[in-house]
Amino acid sequence: MIFLSSKVMQRHYRATQFSDTIKICWNDSSSPSVFHNYWLRDHCQCSACVHPSNKQKLHSSGDVKVSAKPAIEIAGKNLKIKWQKGSLRTDLEKTHESVFDLDWLKRHSYSPKPTSNLDNSFNSQKLVKLWDKDVYEKEKYEVDYNDITSNNPAGLSKTLDMIKKFGLVFLKNVPTEGRKLNPDSETETISVEEVAKIFGPIRETFYGKSWDVKIVPEAKNIAYTNLDLGLHMDLLYFEAPPGLQYLHSLKNSVKGGTSIFLDSFKAVEYLKQISPESYEILKSEYITFHYENDNHNYHYQKKIIDTSNPNEYLQVNYSPPFQGPIIFENNNKIEKFYKSLFEFEQILKMPGMIFKYRLNPGDLVIFHNRRVFHGRTSFDAVGGERHFKGTYTDWDDFKDLERRSNFEEQE
C-alpha cells in the first residue's frame, strides 16, 4: 500500500493505493471513497479522453484494460495517475496521465454514493419535503409573475427550490391576455407557454403545445366537463409522462371547481407505515394505463409504487380515469391487489392530506406531474364560465435548469 496526503485550504486529503483500487479519505466527516483502477482510467477527463469543446467521451468503456498498478500522486487539489502502456485497448503502446480534481471525484463517488451526487440531489429524502394539508398551508409558495420573468435570479431560484422540495407552486398576476409579438402582427403570445418556457422547452403532445380546459360538447376527456375530477396524474399511458404541468386560470366565475392537490410521496410513506403488506403489493403489480379515443391508441404498464429508479426518490403512477384492463400473472394475487389499492385510496380521501386552492383569473399553478396528484371538484356552469389553459415541460429540463442555477449561485 502507498499513502499520499495533501493539505489544501485546511482540508486534508489522503490517498491509499491497493492492487486494484485507490481509497481517498476526505477528512471532512464524509466517508472515504474507493475507486477502482478501471473506473479511474475510464473516467479520465483529459482532452485526449473527453473532447474539450463538445465535452463528449472519446473512448468506450469496453476499451479500458488496466494490467499494471499505476503510479499516483496528490498535488494540491488534484490526484495525478500515471498509467503504464496499454491502459486502453485502442492504444496499447502509449502511457497515459490522468489528473483528477478531488472535488470532482468526490461528487462522482460511487462507493459509497454521497448525498451530494448530481442525481441524488433529486432523489435524496433530505431534499424532498413530504407534505399534507397543514404542512403545505404553512409552506405554501406564491410568487408574483414579474418576480420570475424580470431580471430577478433570486425569485427564480426560490421557485426552483420550492418545486424540487414540494412539487407545487403558485404564480400570481399572470396576464390573462396575450401580448402581440410585434405591432403589425395579429399573433399573440400565450401566457402559460411563456411561463413554461422559463423552465424548459414545451413538451408538445397530441393535445398540442398548449390546450384549453373548459366544457366542450361530447368531450373526449373528463377534464372538459363540469364533473368531479378525482386525484390523478396526466399522460401515464406514455412511456415518459411530462414532468411539470402548468395550469393558468383565464376565467373562473363558476360555483365550485376548486383545484385539489395531494403529495403522493407522503401518501405512499403513510401506507408503508400503516400497511407494509399493501405497500409491497402495490410495488409488485403492474397496471395498464391507456387512452383509446379520438383516433389515438396509447398503452403503457406501470407499477403504482415504483422504487426501482435510482435517479428519483420515488415514482408513483395513479390515474383511475385512464386505467385499462389489468393483466395479472395469476388469480391468487387479484384480491390482495384490490384490497391494497383500497387502503391506498382511503389515505387519498383523508381531508388532512388534500390541499385545496381556488385558481382565480391570473393565477397559474406549476406542479410536478410525477409526484403531485391533482384534480378538481365538480362545478355549476350555469351563469358562469371556467376556462384554464395548460401545457407541459419535461422533468429533465427542470433538473438541468435547477443545477445550472445552483452552479451560478456558487460561483
What pLDDT score does 201 carry?
A: 98
What is the per-residue pLDDT for 230? 92
The radius of gyration of the chain's CA atoms, rounded to the nearest angstrom, is 26
Which pLDDT score is estimated for 122?
Answer: 56
Give residue 115's pLDDT: 47
Q: Which residue has the cell 426560490?
A: 158
| Contacts of residue 73, Cβ cutoff 8 Å, sequence gap at least 6 | 4, 79, 80, 82
Q: Interior CA angle at 15 toward 11 and 18, to 5°?
A: 165
Scanning 47-112, the segments in alpha helix (DSSP H) are 102-107
Specify the pLDDT at position 136. 98
- Residue 304: the pLDDT is 97
As beta bridge partners, residue 98 has: 81
Confidence at residue 381, expressed as pLDDT on a 0 to 100 scale: 79
Name the strand (E) or helix (H) holding 251: strand 244-252
Q: Are 106 and 116 in contact (CB under 8 A)?
A: yes
Catalogue all structural domains in the chain, each as residue range(s) with its CATH number.
2-114 (3.30.2020.30), 125-410 (3.60.130.10)
Crossing angle of helices 395-410 and 191-199, rounded to 10°: 60
Per-10-residue mean pLDDT for the chain, 411 residues long? Answer: 51 86 86 93 94 91 91 92 93 92 91 56 70 97 91 89 96 88 66 96 96 75 77 97 98 94 98 97 95 93 92 90 89 92 97 98 98 94 89 97 77 52
Residue-level pLDDT at 3: 58
Q: What is the pLDDT of residue 9?
A: 43
pLDDT value of residue 312: 78
Strand locations in 44-129, DSSP E?
71-75, 78-83, 96-101
